Structure 1
Amino acid sequence: MCPQSREIPPMYSDGIDAPRRFGVSGEELPSARAISNELHKTDGQSPRNDKLTMMVMQWGQFIDHDIVSTPLMKDPIGANIECCGEGNENRTECFPIRIPDDDPFYNRTCMGMVRSAPVLDHNCEPGFLKIYEDIETISEQLPPDTNDRCIIEAPKDHCALADITHWRVHCNLGQANMAYDGSFILPDHTEEQRLKIQNVYSHVDDIDLFAGAMTKTLLPDSSVGPTFACLLGKQFKKLREGDRYWHETQDPIIKFSKDQLTELRKVSFARVLCDNFDVSQVQPDVFHVPGTGNERVDCGQIQGINLEKWTSCDFLPDGRPNLNSSCRKKRNQE
């Protein structure tokens, strides 16, 4: 496995590995649960885009699990670590979430969060070189909005992500500011969202990336605001350019022919679902709910890939490129 590169330097409290706990004023940053209650409460409805399907989330999970692996932290004998209760909350392996006394769901004060390791040891088990937060061990047992809290809390420790102001500057979007009376000046936010953020944070430079970016006004025909649009663009550009097997590579040894690329570009998630699941009808764009221009159709009407384009001398029977000189010459001519 290879580490992911950083867009901007990490922001640890001690400059080494301590989670970001304190804000500009020196006061402790708000609990991720308090932030979630104020900014990301959904009441079972999507406040952002009701035209998207769950396939958007599922595809995001697929990409996430394809490019990221976080080793889980265990105790010395391989057991799970308890981060709530007497004597546990201050363990170095822990970064628990404080639950407010007036929480509308929980009647306890602590949500256990175990920090995760950035590296595997020689046995491919989590190492103890550094400790970071792990969020996956509890996510399936939590109420619907809990993952918001995990995503808010994890970057303070696991990635040491800077506040959103640093990211806005990095994306050439300008800084958030504060007026003389202490009110927040937040570009790309509605007045309602600005007031909610100001209600939970003490200073604009304390605002977490996820909390700030997810409350921004969406860009036209988009599901994200300008900050996440910037970061997603940078991330996927690097993924494409760093993948030596990217399907549009011009490497003369492994590149696809024009005909093969034409076939690959016909592939859709709808076709994948038809080919691999017990479905007979699906909308052509499965990332959007069915409707005018995206009605459900029989799977037979969803365009597929013609694998005969791979039966030429371009590839050997086992799928490896045919390096025969005449085949290589033909591929380069295309």
Structure 2
Amino acid sequence: MARFNFLAECGGSRTPCAFISRSSKSKRNTVPVNRSRRTTCDSSDTYRTADGTCNNVENSSWGAAGAQLARWLEPEYASGTGGNPRALASDGSDLPNARSISNHVHFELSFLSVKHSVMVMQWGQFLDHDITGTPVLTDNGSDIDCCDRTDSVLSDPDSPCFPINLPDGDFYFGDGKCMNLVRSEAVSGTGTDSSNPRQQYNELSAFIDGSQIYGISDSEMAELRDTDSGSGLLKVGTNNLLPEGDSDDCFLDTSDSSNYCFKAGDSRVNVFPGLSALHTLFMREHNRVATALKGYNSDWDDEKLFQEARRIVIAELQVITYNEWLPQVLSDDGAANYSLGLGNYNYNSTLDPSLSNVFSTAAFRFGHSMVPENLTIGGEVVDTGDLFKRTKYVINSLDNVISSFLDAPGERADAWYVDGMRQRMFEEDSATKDGFDIVTLNIQRGREHGLPSYNDWRDYCGLGKITSFTSDNDFGLFQANDLEEMYHSVDDIDLYSGGIAEAPVAGAAVGQTYICLIGEQFKKLRDGDRFWFESTDAVTGFTSDQITQLEKATLSRIICDNADNISTIQRQAFLNVNIGGVETANPEVSCSTLKEVRLRKWQE
């Protein structure tokens, strides 16, 4: 069978990373599960550790890098096994092929959002790379190509492979093709039998702690710092862009010698121009804050300037996420149902904030549906399939990239995906069609992780199981009919497919099931974080005056302060300028009119 040159769905040289987990080929030393790098914790430490350990003093590994992904429902693996993927329908027949589901249910239809800019998707990816990353198995550090092997976990439980054999007659890829999927690395000692099922883990800290900016270990952080300056700065590259990274991490335009791959706290920095742009803005924001702090506190040394600036930038990430972004994803009411607004923080030391398997593997991948077919960058219309891992757009003009994400409406989060995501994801050579389909991989990954079905998660969320494809559910008739033609029973629907096919709740980007799973996770991330910016702890917290300033943070102001030459912008970066055709709903304003975080409050 012919194959694509695919690796796992994230990390490595040919892999997508929008809202998805990274692979072991991320040039990062994975933290062993359940083994903290800090054996003892000191509650008097002012600053977060790089890897999230000791956030909870009594349970130092909770939420830290290497923590097992939490199970909110017991995994659903093949009957009688400790970890063989979910592969059979409720009637004992095979579940439908993941690519067939993608082709029949999630084909290309474009419904642009009248409300949300593409920046909603882009912030979600940037945030995802701060909180989640699930490594895949390797062969002594080398990538595994399951399409070159004859073994599969369905026939050999010890196999690292769960590839997707694409159906014959595939309209894009053709006949006899294979899509690679390597199994996620298991927590040591799990998966021995049904009483001890296979578990996966998060190689990042779950906390919103800026690890995509600063790295997830002390050594990574040290590599990114400009300690020679003595001013607490991060390193910069040419023209105040990100420093140069590994040349294998992006597709370089060899005709332009100025092109290079970027380096940041997360190796996925290069996968999409908007992501690279946000990384650049927040590297600059750190340096802007550190420079201002030095002006107010000339006696502070490099370490204090760096850590205080890092603390402020992390707070800005948290404010933007909870005050601006989550209300757009969950709706104002949805966010309020989980008390996610500012002013509701109440640290709970008994709460484990570790990411859940269902959030990482399915619910937080909703943003794949919001990627548009193309973007207009500096007057040039560029197809999505030609944007992946191309850093040249940011190198040519950071402002043009930022403007393209602010000015364009995103796709609605719905059952339908643009072809750039379903055929051309990380396509380097259009002639050989060496890209791949993110929907197919997401469905297959959910089965590989033993995620229970869509109906089980509806029941978990108190929404009630559906009993019919075409009634008593949240699907549109179109989506319901397509699902019915693929699945034998409503109890067989994969969560990823069913969750994204739900009609969005009024004011939200997603439907009821994803509102539940995303809302619950973000409540845990905040209330289980001892260093959350609203903490008034005398050691780890900010003063009340400082908190008041931090609450003013907006993405629009971050852009104004750190772009090259942007002087006007819409007040809310996640909303279109003309919402539903109403020009005054979210007008462009002068940057000078936007509220700013006044750093004088940090003068000692």
Shorter-chain TM-score range:
0.7 to 0.9
CA displacement 1:153-184 (0-9 Å, x = unmatched) = 211113x2100111111111011114xxxx65
What's 1:126 paired with?
A: none
- Are residue 6 (structure 1) and residue 71 (structure 2) matched? yes
What's 1:251 paired with?
A: 537
CA displacement 1:64-99 (0-9 Å, x = unmatched) = 2211121232113x3221111462556711111231
Q: Which structure: larger Rg? A: 1
What's 2:162 paired with?
A: 95
| Alpha-carbon distance in 2 for matches of 1:21, 1:157 | 9
Are the structure 2 counterparts of residues 80 and 186 from structure 1 closer, same or farther at C-alpha, using a change threshold of 3 Å?
farther
| Alpha-carbon distance in 2 for matches of 1:132, 1:156 | 13
| Alpha-carbon distance in 2 for matches of 1:261, 1:16 | 48
What's 1:305 paired with?
A: 597
CA displacement 1:271-290 (0-9 Å, x = unmatched) = 11222222413212111222
1:115 to 164, 167, 183: 183
| Alpha-carbon distance in 1 for matches of 2:565, 2:73 | 45
What's 1:177 paired with?
A: 467
| 1:1-334 correspondence runs (5 A) | 1=65, 2-13=67-78, 14-43=80-109, 45=110, 47=111, 49-76=113-140, 78-85=141-148, 87=150, 89=152, 92-107=159-174, 108-119=176-187, 143-145=420-422, 146-158=437-449, 160-178=450-468, 185-280=471-566, 281-291=568-578, 292=583, 293-312=585-604
CA displacement 1:264-307 (0-9 Å, x = unmatched) = 11100111122222241321211122222222233222221101
Are the structure 2 counterparts of residues 7 and 189 from structure 1 closer, same or farther at C-alpha, using a change threshold of 3 Å?
same
Q: Which amino acid aligns with 1:157?
A: E
Q: CA deviation at 1:196?
A: 0.9
8 Å contact 1:53–1:286 — kept in the other structure?
yes
| Alpha-carbon distance in 1 for matches of 2:590, 2:150 | 60
| Alpha-carbon distance in 2 for matches of 1:16, 1:86 | 23
Are the structure 2 counterparts of residues 282 and 156 from structure 1 closer, same or farther at C-alpha, using a change threshold of 3 Å?
same
| Alpha-carbon distance in 2 for matches of 1:238, 1:301 | 35
Q: Which amino acid aligns with 1:36?
A: S
CA displacement 1:196-233 (0-9 Å, x = unmatched) = 11011111111011111111111011111110111111
8 Å contact 2:470–2:477 — kept in the other structure?
no
| Alpha-carbon distance in 2 for matches of 1:282, 1:169 | 43
Are the structure 2 counterparts of residues 166 and 37 from structure 1 closer, same or farther at C-alpha, using a change threshold of 3 Å?
same
Q: Which amino acid aligns with 1:112?
A: N
8 Å contact 1:132–1:157 — kept in the other structure?
no
Structure 2: 5+ residue stretches without partners: 1-64, 189-196, 202-266, 272-387, 390-418, 423-436
Are the structure 2 counterparts of residues 36 and 132 from structure 1 closer, same or farther at C-alpha, using a change threshold of 3 Å?
farther
Looking at both structures, which has the greater relative contact order when contacts are Cα pairs under 8 Å and sequence separation is at least 6?
Answer: 2
Which moves more between the two structures, 202-211 or 140-149?
140-149
Q: Which amino acid aligns with 1:84?
A: C
Q: Which amino acid aligns with 1:72?
A: V
8 Å contact 1:70–1:118 — kept in the other structure?
no
State the secondary structure of the residue aligned to 1:52.
strand
Q: CA deviation at 1:132?
A: 7.0
Structure 1: 5+ residue stretches without partners: 121-128, 313-334
Q: CA deviation at 1:20?
A: 0.6
Are the structure 2 counterparts of residues 8 and 251 from structure 1 closer, same or farther at C-alpha, using a change threshold of 3 Å?
farther
How many residues are treated as equivalent by the alignment?
294
- Aligned identity (percent) is 35
Q: CA RMSD in A?
A: 2.8
Q: CA deviation at 1:130?
A: 6.4
Which moves more between the two structures, 237-246 or 9-18?
9-18
